[in-house]
Amino acid sequence: MVEELDSFKIAQRQLDDAAEIMKLDKQAHQILREPMRTLVVNIPVRMDNGSTRLFNGFRVQYNNARGPGKGGIRYHPEENLNTVKALSAWMTWKTSLADIPYGGAKGGVICDPKKMSIRELEAVSRGYIRALKGYIGPDIDIPAPDVNTTPQIMGWMVDEYSKMEGYDAFSVITGKPLEVWGSEGRNDATGVGGMMVLREAAKTMKLDLKKAKIAIQGFGNVGMNAAFAARNMFGAKIVAISDSKGGIYSDKGIDIDKAAAVKAAGKELQEYGKVEEVTNKELLESDVDVLIPAAMENQIKKDNADRIKAKIVLELANGPVTPDADRILHDKGILDLPDFLVNGGGVVVSYFEWVQNKAGYYWELKEVEEKLDKIMSRSFRDLMQTRKEYKENGKDITARTSAYIIAVDRVSKTMKARGWY
């Protein structure tokens, strides 16, 4: 049978699997299988050559039982509504598992920022916010950065929203530059939070991270910051990294500062120097202790899951492992920690940013990191505890299903308390 790779169908299947095991109420299940609101917008933008181009954008608000929608905006030439729907569902489970007072949402614009000027990028970003007037807001839905969207883009967006509303609504967007009241620690929060989870997972798996070999697929904001955090927190050896064009491998370890400098200079990773070149496929299958997919969806599938050698797969990307692959990894004894646990650090520090904006009172980095660590460690422990409890009752469920059970249970209990079913 051909494997299902439609992200939204995958998200629904993951929910269905959890619903069956946890015996979720049928009405709650019905509500949780579909997004509550789906917005499709077309944004006309005057390009540098004088012509006008129409950009197609989306915002999906999956569920707002536990609080306003929350989630990033992706800019990608292959963006599509179904993926954004899946990502908005995953945001709902992410905020619930972290136990922060939000629902889940996600946005996307079909565009290729690499082929646009700064002025065109700013025009698309401001246009997207104007198109969503009335549907986003500090207590309605709060966007943030994701694939190809930066703090600078968030700065333009918060400015556009504030101009429309006639006051400085800093809490409408998170992941902003510090100059417009972003939070300390937000920029590398996803990578750092992921490493806090890895630290806990390594204890469980009795893996010495000082001696561990790590491969990271994707060297964007998340992958790069994860590499720095792994080095700084554990002195771990990063043996392989990659970007969309391919990767590099060195048994001795990659010099992360040098690789970051190569990227910052606008060069390809292959220009790093005398190391082995690997494809993205080879990187996933390399002989490492920890594999960190930090790029796009559907990277570990039915056809390559069996060749994964890592002991821990740490999903920093959203949706990198398909349900079939998830089961294969689990049966091989690999601890595959799901995206909405591992990459939750971004939205957790987004929450801190929103709280600081609302209070008008700002925290030091140390305070942010301590609070983040508490949430990431607790979420990991909750997941492992749930998995253990099910195992004791004869059900050998994956780490992902365990995380689903916790997250779905919280959302459905809130819906029940609000009288939605």
User: Which residues would be at the binding site for ligand GLU (CB under 6 A)?
Assistant: 70-72, 94, 144, 146, 174-175, 318, 343, 346-347, 350
Compute how many other C-beta atoms are within 10 angstroms of the C-beta atom of residue 115: 8
Can you give the length of the chain in residues?
421
Q: Residue 17 and residue 327: Cα distance in Å, rounded? A: 12
- Given the DSSP bridges, would you call strands 69-76 and 141-145 parallel, antiparallel or unpaired? parallel
Q: Are 335 and 327 in contact (CB under 8 A)?
A: no
Q: Residue 186 and residue 274: Cα distance in Å, rounded? A: 34
The HSE-up count of residue 414 (CA atoms within 13 Å, CB side) is 18
Write down the least CB distance from residue 347 to ligand GLU, Å.
4
Which of 147, 173, 153, 150 shows the shortest CA–CA distance to 161?
Answer: 173
Q: Are 376 and 313 in contact (CB under 8 A)?
A: no
Beta bridge partners of 54: 44
Q: From residue 313, how far is each of 214, 261, 326 by CA, in Å?
A: 10, 27, 10
The HSE-up count of residue 299 (CA atoms within 13 Å, CB side) is 28
Q: What are the helix (H) ranges across 206-297?
A: 221-234, 256-264, 280-284
Which of 174, 201, 101, 125 shows the shortest CA–CA distance to 346?
Answer: 174
Write down the least CB distance from residue 50 to ligand GLU, Å.
34
**Local structure of 142: helix, strand or coil:** strand
State which amino acid sits at residue 149: T
Place of tokens 């989306």: 58
- Taking the least distance from each CB to ligand GLU, the nearer of 107 and 247 is 107
Whether 252 sits among the annotated catalytic residues: the reply is no
Q: Residue 223 and residue 184: Cα distance in Å, rounded? A: 19
For every residue of 116-132, DSSP letters joined together read S-HHHHHHHHHHHHHHT
Rg (CA), the chain: 21
CA 98, distance to chain mean position in Å, is 13
Beta bridge partners of 72: 144
Catalytic residues: 106
